Amino acid sequence: MKGIKLVLFDVDDTLYDFERNWQLTVESVFQSHPLTSGYEQKRICSLFNRYSEMHWSKTVCGELTFQQYRRLRLQETLEQFGETLLDEAFDSFTQAFIETSLSQMQADVKVRAVLQRITEQYAVGIITNGANDTAREKLARLGLSEFFPLNTVIVSSDVGVGKPDPAIFDLTLKQIGYRAEETVFVGDSWSADIVGALNAGLHAIWFNPKGVEPLTTHEPLAIIKHLSELEHVLKDESQKNNKN
Ligand SMILES: [Mg+2]
């Protein structure tokens, strides 16, 4: 095995706590926006979560655009209350949702420190399944833009395909200029990040802070609970390679 030269990262739930951000955003926007504030909050939020989850995979594979996804999850939620969604209300709700979510993102000194040290030795990049109108702004709010120049940030809704499709890994490697065998992918999602990376011929390190069980027999290089473990794993790998 050749040595690792490029470290690719997932963003949501790897570089920041997406789940917490999502939950806070949903609660805050549904409660404050005139379109949704009049409904029973627990019910409307849980319906929204359900429709969001239901349509996510179609969005990742490019069957729905991100904007269609945003509309569908809200439209179907409101239909449960006999409401139709008008364009103007959709636009204003979506803007509030994006702004609220972004406003809660803050730089994490620990994550920044890890990236600082990793980038001293390795090239880095991003593959994220998400919206192209927010992905780079997220990195800016998280204080991570300096580590990831624009051409190293690959967003599924920009390229029309998402993880775990090998195509997004292939085009990322081509764009950043490394081979699969000298690249490791770091992410929290077994099915999107780990299965996706390994099937595309990359190495993978599973960020698994909650200690969930793997869903398949794929074998990542390592499983870590904290991002700070990453350096040790990469160092061990490079020592192993030097001995071979
Ligand atoms: Mg993730």
> How much distance in Å is there from the Cα of 205 to the middle of ligand 1?
13
Looking at the fold, whether 133 and 87 belong to one and the same domain comes out as no
Domain holding 85, by residue range, is: 18-103
> How much distance in Å is there from the Cα of 16 to the middle of ligand 1?
9
Q: Counting beta carbons within 10 angstroms of the beta carbon of residue 242, is it exposed (0 to 12), middle (13 to 18) or buried (19 or more)?
A: exposed
Looking at the fold, whether 192 and 181 belong to one and the same domain comes out as yes
Looking at the fold, whether 110 and 211 belong to one and the same domain comes out as yes
> How much distance in Å is there from the Cα of 164 to the middle of ligand 1?
12
Looking at the fold, whether 120 and 202 belong to one and the same domain comes out as yes
Residue 187, domain member (yes or no): yes
> Amino acid identity, residue 114?
V
> How much distance in Å is there from the Cα of 94 to the middle of ligand 1?
22
Each residue of 45-72: pLDDT tens digit? 999 999 999 999 999 988 999 999 999 9
Looking at the fold, whether 148 and 195 belong to one and the same domain comes out as yes
> How much distance in Å is there from the Cα of 214 to the middle of ligand 1?
15
Looking at the fold, whether 99 and 126 belong to one and the same domain comes out as no
Residue 1, domain member (yes or no): no
- Which of 103, 125, 153 marks a domain boundary? 103
CATH classification of the domain holding 29: 1.10.150
pLDDT at 194: 98
Looking at the fold, whether 159 and 228 belong to one and the same domain comes out as yes
Is the Cβ–Cβ distance between 22 and 85 less than 8 Å?
no
Domains held by the chain: number: 2
Pairing assessment for the beta strands 222-224 and 203-207 based on DSSP bridges: parallel
Looking at the fold, whether 201 and 110 belong to one and the same domain comes out as yes
Residue 179: pLDDT above 80? yes
Each residue of 83-107: pLDDT tens digit? 999 999 999 999 999 999 999 999 9
Looking at the fold, whether 176 and 113 belong to one and the same domain comes out as yes
pLDDT at 181: 97
- Which of 103, 130, 161 marks a domain boundary? 103
> How much distance in Å is there from the Cα of 81 to the middle of ligand 1?
32
Residues within 5 Å of ion ligand 1 by Cβ?
Answer: 10, 12-13, 188-189
Looking at the fold, whether 171 and 113 belong to one and the same domain comes out as yes
Residue 188, domain member (yes or no): yes
Q: What is the pTM of this model?
A: 0.94
